[in-house]
Chain A
Amino acid sequence: MNKKFWLLLIGLFAVSAVFAETEFSAIYDHGGEYHYYIFDWGDGTETPSTMVEEGCGAFESHAFLKAGTFPVSWRSVSLSGEITEWRGAATHEQKTAETAPARIVPASYLVGPGGKADISGNLSFVADEDYPMAWAGFIFSKVTALDAVALTAQKDVPFPEEFRLEYCMDDGKTWRQIPRYALNSYPNPEGRTVMLPLHGLAAKGIRLLCPRLPEGKAAVKMEAFRGESMLFEADAPEEFNAALNNMWLVYGSAENEIHLKGSSWWDSRRPNEGGVLAYPGAEWSEWASLQVSWISLKKEREALKNNLRDMTVGTDGFVWACEADPRHLFHAKHAVNNPTYILALHRYFAWNPDPAFWQAKDKKTGETVLSKARRTMEFCLNDLKGKDGLLVITFPENDGTADGWASNYWDAWLFGYKSAYANSFFYSSLNAMADIEEWNGRLDKAEEYRKLAGQVRENAQKEFWDTTKERFIGCIDKNGKKHDYGFTFVNFPAIAYGLASDEQTDAIMKWLTGERIIRGENATGENIYRWKFAAVPNTVDAGAIEPHWWEDWNGAISVGPGGKVPYEGNCQNGGAIFYISYYDLLARLQWRGPDFAMQFFNQILDEFKQDELRRNPVNVKTGMAGIFGIIGPFPESGNVPLFYLHGLMGVKPVPEGFEITPKLPEAWKFAKATVHRNGQPVHITCSRAANEVSVKPDGRGGFEVTVPASGSHCIKM
C-alpha cells in the first residue's frame, strides 16, 4: 500500500449518545477518488454511507435492535472498486434494545426487464447484456413513510454489485432515484443484511434497479420497514403529505442526499449536487436556525449551537462572513450579517431555551454569546447608524451606486447605502434583540429596541416606497438615486417580517399576483411566476438600465445587449431562487388567508412531484448553469416546506413553550407535526375537534400537544 495512504490514514471512532441511535464515523483517502464507507454494525447488518470526496469521512447512526456487545468496524470502497480491509474495530455496548420498526407487507410486486419478484420480497435479476437496467420491487397499499429497506443476499447467487434504490408515488409509472443509494462496486456482504435507512421517505412503491450485472445474475431478499408517523401530516390527500414530507427530506434535513464533504452542512460538487441541510456562514445563519433548531438530529442541533456560539464577531462588532474572512467570498462585506446573526440566535434559543446558552463561550475568544449579540446590535446602531431610525450601510465600497459593491446574498445586485432589503432584516432583528434582552433581564433595553423598531418601520415604509409603482424599491445610493428592478426578494420579506403596512401589503401582493399590472417590465402578471415554483427575483432586466447596476464578476455574468446573461438567464436576473417562496407563502397567508396561500403551495408541490425540483439546467447560449437556485449551494431551499409548520399550523416557539395560531385551509380538520424542543419530541396537533389546549406526556419521553384549530394559544411546557 502506498506510503501516502498510511500517512493519510486516520481511523477514528466517535461514539456519541444520540437520543435514539448511536453514531459512528470513519475516514479514509483512496488518493483522490470519490468513495463510500460500509459500516459493519456487528449485529448481522451493515450500512453504506453517502459517497464522499477524497479524505472526507462520514457519519452513520444505527439502531441496535438487540441488547448486547457488538464489534463495529468499517471499510471504504472507491468508485473504481478499490476496497479496503475492515478497519477501526470498536466495541459498542447496547444496554436496551431499540424498538424495531414494523415490516411492511407489500400489496403487489412489479418487475422490469431481467427482474423477478415475489410478494415475500425475493428479487432476482438475470441478463446477458452489459446494460440490462434490470429491476424489481413492490408497491404498498398506500403511501407509507419508510424507515429503511433491508437487502439480504440469497444463497449461491451473487449480491448485486451495482444497484440503485428508487421509489415511486404512482404505482410504478415514474421512479425517482434516492441519491445516496446509487452504488457501484458493492462488495459481497458476506452474510450480513444491508440496511439502507430512508429517514421517513414517503413512497407508494420501492424498487431495486441493477443497471449492470457484471456476473450476469444477482438476487436479494428485499424488505421495507415502516417509519413512525410522518413528520408533517395534514388532513389532506396522501399525495400532499408525501410531497410535503419528501420536500423536507430533500431540502430540509437532506438525509438521503449525497454529501461529498461527509457533512450535510456543505453542498456537493456537480454532478452530485442535491439538498443541503444548512450553511454555517453568517448570512445563512437565520435560515440555518429556521431549519435545524427543532429537528430530531441531535448532532446537527449541536453543530448549529456551536456554530452560533463560535460565530466570528470582529472587534468592531461586525459579524464576519465566515471564520476566515469578514467578506462574502473574500470580496465584499455584507451588512446584513449582523441582523441575521441576531435573528439566528433568537430563533435557536426559542426552540432550545437553556439559559446557559447566553453564557456559552466562544472556543477561540472566550466571549459569551450574549456579549456577541449585544456588540452585534451595537454595530448596527452606531456604525450602521441604525439608532437614527434606518440602517445605513456605511462601508465606503458599498455605496449603492453602479460602481459600488454588493451588500447581501443577492451578490450580483449592487445594494448598498440605504437598502430596503437590509432594513427588513434590521427591523426584525430589533424586535428579536428586544426579546433577547428581556430574556436576560434588561427590560429597559428591550423597551428601547421595540420603540426603535417602530421608528425603523415607519421610516422604511416612507423612504423605500415607490408611490407610482406601489412597491418597495431596492435601495437608495449615497447620491440619493433610487434603484428598483421590481425586486420580489425585497417585497416578500418586507411583508413577512412585518415591515410593510397593510395597505402596502395589499398593493404589493396585487402587483405580484397579477391583479395589478405594471406595464413595460420584463415580467408582468402570470409571467412573474413563469417558473411555477417561485417568482422571478426581479421584474425588470438587470441589463435594461444603464449604467448596469450589476456585479458581473469580471464579465462572467455580464448583462445587457451582447451580455452573457439575458433576462431569465441567471437565478438573480429573471431566473428563480426557491427560498423566496417561503416569504411569498407567508405573505399570501397574511394577505388573503390559508386557502389563497394553498393555491401557490399546491403549485409548488406539484412541481416537486415532477422531479423533486432537481433542476439545474444549462443555458445553451452561454453554457452556464445557474438559472435556478434550488439544489446545490442553496440550503435555504429547505425554508419552503416550513410554511406548513410556521404558516398553516402557526407554530411559534417561545422560551416558555409555544404560541400557536393555526390558519388551516377550510377543508382540513387537522394538521400535525413533530418537533423537538430542547431535544424532547413534541407532537403538535391543531384540530377542529379540540375545544381546549391539552398537553400530556407521550410515554416515550416526549409530549403530545393539542390545540383548537382556531384562535391563538399559549402553551407552557
Chain B
Amino acid sequence: MMTLENLPIQIPQPTPASGHPSRGGELLKSPPAEGCRDGGVGFLATAAQSLNALKKLVLLCAVSTALSSSAAENIIYYSLFNESIGWWQPSDAAKSWEVSGEIPDSTGGKALKIIPKFGTGTDRRIMMLCQIPFIRAHKIRVRLWNAIPADAGEIYLRFEIVDANNKVHMVKMYGNTEAFRTPERKTVKPVWGKDVEGSPVPSGKWITYEAELPQDIDYVYGEGFIDVGYFAPGDRYKITPERMIPIKQITISLDTTPDNRLSGSEGLAVYIDRVEFVGYEKQKQVAESK
C-alpha cells in the first residue's frame, strides 16, 4: 500500500513555463552576476556559478518559449483575499494586517499586506493560516513581495499544508521557479526555536514560490487543528501515483534569525499577492449515451 512515508521523493525536473505573468516575467529576467537577492531568483551563487546559471536560464527560456503553448495549467483556486470574512488567520506576531488593492507591481486583484511585529528573542515567526475548500492539487504557488530591506533583517519562508487526513506537511518551496530546483536553492524550513535554514526571501521583488506535490513534501509531522464538528478521518485518504491527498489548509510562516534587527521596526511589510493551486489535467470521462 502506498503511503506518504514510503513514497519515493523524486528530484523534480524543470517543466515548461506557463504564460502566467508573475512567473513568466521573472523567469525571463537574468540574475545579476553577484548573486540572488536583487535579481529575484532566490539563491546565492558565486560569479562563476551565476554565469553557468545564466546559460542554463537562457537555454531554459528558449525551451520554455518553444513549449509554452503545450501546457495550459488547470488553475483551480486563487481568490483568498476577502478581508471581511477573514480567511487568513494570523498569529500574534502580526503587528497589523490588511487586504489592500494598492500593492507595488501587483498584477491585479488584491493582496495581503502583513506588517510583522518581531519581538526580541522569542517572536521570530509570523504565521498565517488559511483554511481552503478541500482541493487536490499537484502544485502550489504563492507570490511574495518582501518590502523589508535585507539590511533590516532577513525573512525566511516556511510553508505547510494540512491534508484531508489532518496531517501537517512541511513543504519545500522553490523560488522562481522550477528552473532552480536544486537543494541549494530551496527555501526551507526553520525548526522551532533554532536557526533558520535555506535561503531568505529576496527583498524588493515579487518572488513566486512553487512546490510540487507530493515530491516537495519534506516531512510530515503531527495532527493539524481539528475544527469542532469535524473529526480527523485518520488515514482515510491515500496518495496514489496520480493523486495527492486533498489539501484543506495552508500555513505560511515568515521567520527571522535570532539576531534580527526587526523588533520595534515600524511599517515594514511583506505582501502575499496570490496563492494558486494547480490541478491535474481535467479528466472528462466519456459521456454515456442517453
Chain A residues close to B by CB (< 8 Å): 2, 30-34, 51, 53-54, 71, 73, 78-86, 89, 129-131, 133, 184-185, 187, 190, 211-212, 214, 269-273, 329, 611, 614-618, 620-625, 633
12 contacts across the A-B interface (CB closer than 8 A): A31-B243, A33-B246, A81-B76, A82-B136, A84-B285, A129-B21, A270-B87, A271-B80, A616-B84, A616-B86, A618-B89, A620-B97
Q: Is the CB of A614 within 8 A of B85?
A: yes
Give complex CA distance A329, B228 in Å. Answer: 9
B92 CB-CB contact with A under 8 Å: yes
Q: Is the CB of A80 within 8 A of B72?
A: no
Find B279's partner among A79, A133, A614 (CB 8 Å cutoff): A79
Q: Is the CB of A80 within 8 A of B74?
A: yes
Give complex CA distance A636, B127 in Å. Answer: 33
Contacts of B279 in A (CB 8 A): 79-81, 185
B109 CB-CB contact with A under 8 Å: yes
Q: A190-B287, A617-B83 are in contact. List 10 more A-B contacts (CB 8 A).
A: A34-B134, A53-B134, A80-B74, A82-B282, A130-B18, A269-B227, A270-B87, A271-B85, A271-B87, A614-B84
> Which residue on B lies nearest to A215, using beta carbons?
B72
User: In angstroms, how far is the closest chain B Cβ from the Cβ of A625?
Assistant: 5
Q: Is the CB of B109 within 8 A of A2?
A: no
> Which residue on B lies nearest to A85, using beta carbons?
B285
Q: Indicate with 1 or 0, residue by residue over B1-45, a CB within 8 angstroms of chain A CB atoms.
A: 000000000000000001111000000000000000000000000
B284 CB-CB contact with A under 8 Å: yes
Q: Is the CB of A81 within 8 A of B283?
A: yes
Q: Is the CB of A32 within 8 A of B91?
A: no
B137 CB-CB contact with A under 8 Å: yes
Q: Is the CB of A81 within 8 A of B230?
A: no
Known A-B contacts A80-B136, A85-B285, A625-B86; A54 and B164 likewise in contact (beta carbons under 8 Å) = yes
Interface centre among A2, A78, A129 (most CB of B within 10 A): A78
Q: Is the CB of B89 within 8 A of A269?
A: no
Give complex CA distance A688, B59 in Å. Answer: 82
Number of inter-chain CB pairs below 8 Å: 147
Q: Is the CB of B79 within 8 A of A211?
A: yes
B133 CB-CB contact with A under 8 Å: yes
Q: Is the CB of A623 within 8 A of B136?
A: no
Known A-B contacts A32-B134, A623-B92; A616 and B20 likewise in contact (beta carbons under 8 Å) = no
Q: Is the CB of A272 within 8 A of B133?
A: yes
Q: Is the CB of B164 within 8 A of A32?
A: yes
Which residues of B178-199 have CB atoms within 8 Å of chain A's CB atoms? none
Known A-B contacts A185-B282, A618-B89; A80 and B108 likewise in contact (beta carbons under 8 Å) = no
Chain B residues close to A by CB (< 8 Å): 18-21, 72, 74-80, 82-92, 94-97, 107-109, 127, 129-137, 164, 227-230, 236-237, 240, 243, 245-246, 277, 279-288, 290
Give complex CA distance A224, B260 in Å. Answer: 59
Contacts of A624 in B (CB 8 A): 89
Give complex CA distance A77, B95 in Å. Answer: 41
Give complex CA distance A624, B279 in Å. Answer: 30
Contacts of B281 in A (CB 8 A): 81
Contacts of A329 in B (CB 8 A): 228
Known A-B contacts A131-B109, A269-B230, A271-B131; A86 and B80 likewise in contact (beta carbons under 8 Å) = no
Give complex CA distance A270, B240 in Å. Answer: 27
Contacts of A53 in B (CB 8 A): 134
Give complex CA distance A678, B246 in Å. Answer: 45
Find B286's partner among A2, A85, A130 (CB 8 Å cutoff): A85
Give complex CA distance A617, B97 in Å. Answer: 11
| Top-9 shortest CB links A-B | A80-B279, A81-B282, A32-B246, A618-B86, A32-B164, A34-B133, A80-B136, A271-B87, A85-B285
Contacts of A51 in B (CB 8 A): 133
Find B283's partner among A32, A79, A83, A130 (CB 8 Å cutoff): A83
User: In angstroms, how far is the closest chain B Cβ from the Cβ of A217?
Assistant: 14
Interface centre among A30, A31, A83 (most CB of B within 10 A): A31
Contacts of B95 in A (CB 8 A): 620
Give complex CA distance A271, B89 in Å. Answer: 11
Interface centre among A79, A185, A617, A624 (most CB of B within 10 A): A79
> Which residue on A lies nearest to B21, using beta carbons?
A130
Contacts of B88 in A (CB 8 A): 618
Give complex CA distance A492, B85 in Å. Answer: 28
Give complex CA distance A83, B136 in Å. Answer: 13
Contacts of A616 in B (CB 8 A): 84-86
Interface centre among B75, B96, B277, B286 (most CB of A within 10 A): B75
User: In angstroms, how far is the closest chain A Cβ from the Cβ of B24?
Assistant: 10
Known A-B contacts A131-B108, A269-B227; A622 and B75 likewise in contact (beta carbons under 8 Å) = no
Give complex CA distance A623, B84 in Å. Answer: 14
User: In angstroms, how far is the closest chain A Cβ from the Cβ of B282?
Assistant: 4
Give complex CA distance A621, B79 in Å. Answer: 24
User: In angstroms, how far is the closest chain A Cβ from the Cβ of B230?
Assistant: 7
Find A184's partner among B77, B85, B131 (CB 8 Å cutoff): B77
User: In angstroms, how far is the closest chain B Cβ from the Cβ of A181?
Assistant: 14
Contacts of B86 in A (CB 8 A): 616-618, 625
User: In angstroms, how far is the closest chain A Cβ from the Cβ of B31?
Assistant: 24
Contacts of A623 in B (CB 8 A): 89-92, 94, 127, 129
Give complex CA distance A623, B94 in Å. Answer: 9
Give complex CA distance A185, B281 in Å. Answer: 11
Q: Is the CB of A33 within 8 A of B134?
A: yes
Contacts of B129 in A (CB 8 A): 623
Interface centre among B97, B107, B230, B283 (most CB of A within 10 A): B283
Q: Is the CB of A620 within 8 A of B96?
A: yes
Give complex CA distance A30, B245 in Å. Answer: 11
Q: Is the CB of A32 within 8 A of B284?
A: no
Known A-B contacts A614-B84, A615-B85; A80 and B21 likewise in contact (beta carbons under 8 Å) = no
Give complex CA distance A84, B282 in Å. Answer: 11
> Which residue on B lies nearest to A270, using beta carbons?
B131
Q: Is the CB of A80 within 8 A of B280?
A: yes
Q: Is the CB of B96 within 8 A of A81?
A: no
Contacts of B80 in A (CB 8 A): 271
Contacts of A80 in B (CB 8 A): 74, 76, 135-137, 277, 279-280
Contacts of B133 in A (CB 8 A): 34, 51, 79, 271-272
Q: Is the CB of A34 within 8 A of B285?
A: no
Q: Is the CB of B282 within 8 A of A86?
A: no
> Which residue on B lies nearest to A633, using beta carbons?
B229
User: In angstroms, how far is the closest chain A Cβ from the Cβ of B275?
Assistant: 12
User: In angstroms, how far is the closest chain B Cβ from the Cβ of A283?
Assistant: 15
Give complex CA distance A33, B240 in Å. Answer: 14
User: In angstroms, how far is the closest chain B Cβ from the Cβ of A327?
Assistant: 14
Q: Is the CB of A86 within 8 A of B287?
A: yes
